[in-house]
Structure 1
Amino acid sequence: MSTHERPRTPTRVAVDAQALGDLYSAPAILRVVNVWDAASARVVAELPGTTAIATAGHGIAASHGYPDGEQIPLALMLDSIDRISRAAEHLPITADLDGGYGDVGETVRRAIGVGASGANIEDRMRPFAESVTLMHHAVAAGADEGVAFALNARTDALIADSSVPRADALSEAVRRGRAYIEAGATCVFVPGVLTADETRTLVSGIGDRLVSVIGLPGALTAAEYEALGVARISYGPMPQNVALTALKRLGASLYGDGVIPGDTEQLNNF
């Protein structure tokens, strides 16, 4: 199958959205290994434990030579999501749509059109009312398309300003998280390395199975977060970083007296 076959129908995206919502609310934490192109999507999709595919906005941008933060043109980002969707055609797709690209409703509609049944949208610590409206518009755009769009509403409360006392940042994350859930979000993504106590504060304040976290070096394990009531764990740009680190080390070895390891798999055959 090439990546230009089997586009998802609107009905299929709607079914995927319901499945994605069910994965968020299930007792088991939703584990997603973020991908950045069709090849990485195919590899992850074929793993037995994969139940959904999550794109990495940073990773997609980097793969095209752009820095993170909506520097990559939206059309190119959506084309990448489309290719990922087709490469992993049997799984629901949740996309990283950064801060919404200026018109979050139109961006969500276009993302649905290329197969996404959910997405991360960043508040970037915009004013509170503006941020709530942003999340509401994302959910409403999905509803207009007949999709119960699984919005993983991201608040940058813990990472935007290191001078803010941690307790205050946690309180703001809870305040925003509650408001985003009321606006229709499926889950609230709070990036940052979280301790067990901080995770308890977020889950207690926002709700059981309503908090999403990122697995960074120094973070808790997925099982530990699951036991604390977290709904989802993703890994952002880290899978791509790990892959590129392996490439760098291989290259250094091959410039010496190394050879391609004998257990190397042929994983990029389309």
Structure 2
Amino acid sequence: MSDLKAHADLLRELHHGKLLVLPNAWDEASAELVVEAGFPVVATSSAAVADVLGHQDGEKAPWREMFAAAARIAAVVPVPVTVDAEAGYGLQPDELVDRLLEAGAVGCNLEDTDHRAGGLVDAAEHADWLARVRAAADASGVPVVVNARIDAFLPPSGIPEETRPAEAIRRGRLYRQAGADCVYPIGMTSRDDVARLVAEVPGPVNGNTGAALDLDTLAALGVARVSYGPRFYRAGPGQLRGALETLRRTEEPDGRAPRR
């Protein structure tokens, strides 16, 4: 537990200072590549991990499989691991924290999408749940770093486009008051919206790069951390498809590879 606490403390510290860049991993090999490239933290992508396991994102994969994948990743890297735990899989806060720590993770993303009823969970209700996660983590002796994902900008949220920035700010404030260490308005692509949220929600903000939001811009706006989700995982099949197409074009008419 002392090693986990040290990793949790380090992960929290990395949210203050230089922009924390998290190229998300999905298995042991990708996690090792992240570390070899010099990144100080490994973050998982639930969409990528679920796809590797043969399931869709959105809590369609059994939570035990998702945590087992996280444990395999944490076992092979010497740096803090933060897990995309989706909406918590219906687990009670103390059990969720126990599963994270058993997997060797010291951070988590927790989103406010309601995967059962659709739309978003009521903001006050979700803040209360986050507060109980915070309390359970603190009681464990490992101050798990909670990144509260705000899904107001995602189409299934049901939030009208013109009110999404204000709703993200409202939820961000509530989640920070509940004890979340960082808020993550996923899908927020406007520079002005990001600047406003950073100014109006206290504490670290997680952002994503986009057409008008490169790493330098996000850092200048005061964003503390940037994650990439399944972006790199999804790039892999495209590269494989291109390689296979090239290989197919070099085959002999009977389908055999040409002799060299």
Which deviates more, 156-165 or 222-231? 156-165
1:209-268: CA deviation from partner (whole Å, max 9, x where unpaired): 52111235x35111110110001100011010112211121122222228xxxxxxxxxx
Q: Does 1:91 align with 2:79?
A: yes
Task: Give the equivalent residue in structure 2 for 1:138.
Answer: 133
Q: Cα–Cα, structure 1 residues 60 and 155, in superposed 2: closer, same or farther, change >3 Å?
A: same
Contact 1:154 1:190 in 2 (8 A): yes
Q: Mark the runs of 5 or more structure 2 residues left unpaired by the alignment.
A: 114-119, 252-260
Quote the offset at 1:95 in angstroms: 0.4
Q: Cα–Cα, structure 1 residues 76 and 219, in superposed 2: closer, same or farther, change >3 Å?
A: farther
Determine which of 68, 74, 85 is the counterpart of 1:79.
Answer: 68
Contact 2:152 2:159 in 1 (8 A): no
Name the larger-Rg structure: 2
Superposition pairs of residues 1-270 of structure 1, within 5 angstroms:
10-26=1-17, 28-48=18-38, 50-88=39-77, 90-105=78-93, 106-124=95-113, 125-161=120-156, 164-207=159-202, 210-216=204-210, 218-257=211-250
Partner secondary structure for residue 116 of structure 1: coil
1:72-118: CA deviation from partner (whole Å, max 9, x where unpaired): 11111011001111121x11011000000101411222111111110
Quote the offset at 1:163 in angstroms: 6.4
Q: Mark the runs of 5 or more structure 1 residues left unpaired by the alignment.
A: 1-9, 259-270
Contact 1:193 1:219 in 2 (8 A): no
Look up the equivalent residue of 1:225 and give its one-letter code: L
Residues in 2 aligned to 1:194 and 1:255: alpha-carbon distance in whole angstroms: 39
Contact 1:16 1:92 in 2 (8 A): yes
1:39-61: CA deviation from partner (whole Å, max 9, x where unpaired): 1111111002x010000001000
Name the Cα RMSD after superposition: 1.6
Partner secondary structure for residue 65 of structure 1: coil
Partner secondary structure for residue 106 of structure 2: strand
When the two structures are superposed, what TM-score results if normalisation uses the length of structure 1? 0.86
Residues in 2 aligned to 1:199 and 1:92: alpha-carbon distance in whole angstroms: 27
Q: Cα–Cα, structure 1 residues 60 and 223, in superposed 2: closer, same or farther, change >3 Å?
A: same
Aligned residues: 244
